[in-house]
Chains A and B, each alone.
Chain A
Amino acid sequence: EDKVVQSPLSLVVHEGDTVTLNCSYEVTNFRSLLWYKQEKKAPTFLFMLTSSGIEKKSGRLSSILDKKELFSILNITATQTGDSAVYLCAVGPNDYKLSFGAGTTVTVRA
């Protein structure tokens, strides 16, 4: 059975701190790993990673994939209160079916 495990389950930081979120996976057939930010209901797409060692960056967010050790990290630097959300990791074992982790809840306090 495919497994996607995210850690920590939740964390609380202060504005300006850096956070690192982890996602490890075990899937039968890996194609890509995706990160989403979920506020209220709909997840919004952040990154798609398909190759090891290539860092993707978008503003204060960055992510990297290690296909040998089967994990990815998502970093958020200089956190702001607007970064408070649930961050979801998903792995695509085939062309269309994503297996999601339970998410990491990030709370950024002013």
Chain B
Amino acid sequence: GAGVSQSPSNKVTEKGKDVELRCDPISGHTALYWYRQSLGQGLEFLIYFQGNSAPDKSGLPSDRFSAERTGGSVSTLTIQRTQQEDSAVYLCASSLAGLATDTQYFGPGTRLTVL
């Protein structure tokens, strides 16, 4: 079936603007994750959604970052007042039930460039 999809694939914005990144998880997957990968760095956990539970936002780097997941499916990551250090690839993943033994399936990512 279809995998995780993300849009846009690339986004160039000016410092201070807000951006929205979208993730469509695999149908039937209850868990959704957002990660960030800066150049030459490993993946950095941002936020986790599991079903109707309150999300774990412990990885969000500042209050300029927020995320929603509507209807237990599509998720949007919003970055307000973007800064140059926000430039990175933002990856979304989903898994069946959010257990550590579940495989996380990643989307192709959104490359964000803040000028």
Chain B 77-115 interface residues, beta-carbon cutoff 8 Å to A: 89, 91, 95, 98-101, 103-109, 111
CB of A90 within 8 A of CB of B105, answer: no
Nearest residue in B to A45 (C-beta to C-beta)?
A: B103
- Is A102 a contact partner of B41 (Cβ separation < 8 A)? yes
- Interface size of B by CB at 8 A reads 29
- Residues 27-56 of chain A: 1 if any B CB is under 8 Å from the residue's CB, otherwise 0? 000011010100011111100101000000
Confirm or deny: B1 has a beta carbon within 8 angstroms of a beta carbon on chain A: no
Query: Are A96 and B42 in touch, CB under 8 angstroms?
Result: no
Asked if A96 and B56 sit within 8 Å, CB to CB, the answer is yes
Contact of A48 among B31, B42, B101, B106 (CB under 8 A): B101
Q: What residues on A are CB-neighbors of B106 within 8 Å?
A: 36, 42-44
Tell me which of A50, A92, A101 contacts B42 (CB under 8 A).
A101
> A88 contacts which of B42, B98, B101, B111 (Cβ < 8 Å)?
B42
Cα distance A45–B96 when bound, in Å? 14
Contact between A95 and B100, CB atoms less than 8 A apart: yes
The interface of chain A, by Cβ under 8 A from chain B, is 4, 31-32, 34, 36, 40-45, 48, 50, 88, 90, 92, 94-103
Binding site for A on B (CB under 8 A): 31, 33, 35, 40-45, 48, 50, 56, 58-59, 89, 91, 95, 98-101, 103-109, 111
A-B contact pairs, 19 of them (CB 8 A): A31-B100, A31-B101, A34-B103, A36-B106, A41-B111, A42-B107, A42-B109, A45-B103, A48-B101, A50-B101, A92-B100, A96-B48, A96-B50, A98-B33, A99-B45, A100-B44, A100-B45, A102-B41, A103-B42
